[in-house]
Amino acid sequence: MSIPSTPDAPADVGATDLLDLLCGAEPALLRGAGRHWPVFAALSEENLRAHGDRLVEAEDRDHRPVTVSLDEVLDDMRAARPQGLYLRHQVLSRFDPALPALVPGEVRRLNWLLALEPDARPDWSWLMIGAAATSSPLHVDVMASAAWNLLCTGAKRWTFHPPERAEEWRLLPPGCATDTHDPRPREFVQEPGDIVVTPSGWAHEVHNVTGSIAVTSNFINRSNMDFALRYFGLTGDTDAYDVLVAVGAAFARHEEGGGR
């Protein structure tokens, strides 16, 4: 048995409230919260077709890498009997350097790691285009980060499991999950304009109910810094741990000085 989706956030939620919701401790479905973001319109199928001849690295139905044109991915997204192509690892800035700036600035700034020097800064925003019945297998997000996902076209079904279950399945190191959650899965169906929030440590799998286009971004900030530090301490990644400590200290000094 699963827990129904959390109450929907209103489409006209204020910017400050939205940032709090994006940094929440539980998975959430925010109905229509991204419909007015410029990146939502920019990633329409019509706009993407302008890049249709471009070659991209997608996955086939068996998750094997294949090089195809963007038009082939978009055609498969619309096909009645799709081949199962999924563009799942396309870094947004490499597809089009102008696209990241179309995400609201206050949302981009949720990721404190953007303060790092360019050669040390992770590029954590992706464009995803998939045919019906394609999926992302059960996983925990990279480097103990949290994430938001804005759906631009189609429908996705999300299933979340709390960090305690992720530990049981060895997706997290033992001792990483310190809070207690209801063990039942959380399930959402995401529609265009909806944002899904994935907190740090929550295992999840995502299925494309129909062909879909989405943009997603990961982040680490005050809301999940303790979790990320615990993760890297347990995995023994001292380099990542030290970077996070330095970033956290820099933002703390900035806030003490009256910065926002």
Please indicate, yes or no, if residue 13 is contained in any of the structural domains. no
Please indicate, yes or no, if residue 5 is contained in any of the structural domains. no
pTM (2 d.p.): 0.92
Please indicate, yes or no, if residue 22 is contained in any of the structural domains. no
Please indicate, yes or no, if residue 184 is contained in any of the structural domains. yes
Q: What is the pLDDT of residue 5?
A: 46
- As for how many domains the chain has, the answer is 1
Please indicate, yes or no, if residue 1 is contained in any of the structural domains. no
- Cα separation values, 87 from 34, 70, 76, 103, 211, Å: 21, 9, 11, 20, 11
Q: Which of 88, 85, 89, 92 is nearest to 42 (CA)?
A: 92
Q: What is the pLDDT of residue 254?
A: 72
CA torsion, ordered 37, 190, 93, 133, to nearest 10 deg: -150
DSSP, res 235: H
Could you report the per-residue pLDDT of 53-99, keeping only the tens digit for each? 999 999 999 999 999 999 999 999 999 999 999 999 999 999 999 99
Please indicate, yes or no, if residue 248 is contained in any of the structural domains. yes
Please indicate, yes or no, if residue 107 is contained in any of the structural domains. yes
Q: Which of 187, 178, 154 is nearest to 27 (CA)?
A: 187
How far is 104 from 37, CA to CA, in rounded Å?
A: 7
How far is 152 from 41, CA to CA, in rounded Å?
A: 8
- Cα separation values, 251 from 114, 125, 245, 246, Å: 12, 22, 10, 9
Please indicate, yes or no, if residue 21 is contained in any of the structural domains. no
Are 55 and 112 in contact, with CB atoms under 8 Å apart?
A: no
Q: What is the pLDDT of residue 3?
A: 45
Q: Can you give the CATH number for the domain in which 79 is found?
A: 2.60.120.650
Q: What is the pLDDT of residue 259?
A: 54
Q: What is the pLDDT of residue 255?
A: 72
Tokens of 81: 């009997």
Q: What is the pLDDT of residue 15?
A: 65
Range of the domain at 74: 28-255
Tokens of 132: 């019906």
Q: Which of 204, 193, 132 is nearest to 161 (CA)?
A: 204
Query: What stretches in the chain show pLDDT beneath 70?
Result: 1-15, 256-260
How far is 166 from 168, CA to CA, in rounded Å?
A: 5
37-71 burial code (b ≥16 CB/10 A, e <16): bebbebbeeeebeeeeeeebebbeeeeeebebebe
